């Protein structure tokens, strides 16, 4: 498994009215081959840490051409600051039981 970790800082006013945009983003993200799911952790003040899980790095990279326009359309208009890539790497440990 492969993970991409980002921090997004949302404009809270735009976020409140942008839930349909986020649902559309999540729907299109979930359709990508190799996508395993996401964790979104609200850390306050409009900030979220998002962990996207992929089958492997190749799947994550292959999804970029399809997802970049979706991010620009659905997510970026809701942000107060550019998204911050924290890092990406193979997952070294998981004990998720959800």
What are 12-57's pLDDT values in tens digits? 999 999 999 999 999 999 999 999 999 999 999 999 999 999 999 9
Count of helices and strands (H, E) across the chain: 3, 4
Taking alpha carbons only, the member of 52, 46, 90, 45 closest to residue 71 is 52
Beta-bridge partners for 14: none
The domains of the chain, with CATH numbers, are 2-88 (3.30.70.100)
Alpha helices (runs of H) in the chain, residue ranges in sequence order: 12-17, 19-30, 57-70
* Residues 7, 86 contacting (CB under 8 angstroms): yes
pTM of the predicted structure, to 2 decimals: 0.91
């Amino acid at each position: 498994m492969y993970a991409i970790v980002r921090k997004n800082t949302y404009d809270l006013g735009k976020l409140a009215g942008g839930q349909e945009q986020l649902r559309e983003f999540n729907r299109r993200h979930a359709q990508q081959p190799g996508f395993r799911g996401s964790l979104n952790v609200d850390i306050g003040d409009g900030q979220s840490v998002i962990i996207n899980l992929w089958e492997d790095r190749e799947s994550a990279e292959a999804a970029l051409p399809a997802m970049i326009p979706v991010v620009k359309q659905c997510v970026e208009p809701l942000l107060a600051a550019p998204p911050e890539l924290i890092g990406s790497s193979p997952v070294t440990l998981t004990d998720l039981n959800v």
